[in-house]
Amino acid sequence: MTTNPGRKPGEDEMPKQKSKRALRKRVRLTGAGRLRRYHAYKRHILTKKHPKRKRRLRKPTLVSKGDEHRIKRLLMV
């Protein structure tokens, strides 16, 4: 808190950090603490993609180990 007269409480403190809400909608935390995401390239121009590829793109996957730490910092997990 502040000891300066004439200042409101909390005025000289830093604002709270906010998590990235857009990323929160795209990534879920698993029970083991890993991050689950969905595949890209499944929205349009599907006629030229092979059925096997489209089937694989349907299923979720885990975020890579290299990106996991960075994404968890953005989510503030």
Given this model, what pLDDT does residue 64 score? 96
Q: Alpha-carbon distance 73 to 77, whole Å?
A: 7
> Residue 13: which pLDDT band, with cuts at 50, 70 and 90?
confident
Enter the pTM of the model: 0.73
Task: Print the SS3 string covering the chain.
Answer: CCCCCCCCCCCCCCCCCCCCHHHHHHEEECCCCCEEECCCCCCCCCCCCCHHHHHHHHCCEECCHHHHHHHHHHHCC
Q: Give the count of beta carbons closer than 10 Å to the beta carbon of residue 57.
A: 16
> Residue 11: which pLDDT band, with cuts at 50, 70 and 90?
confident
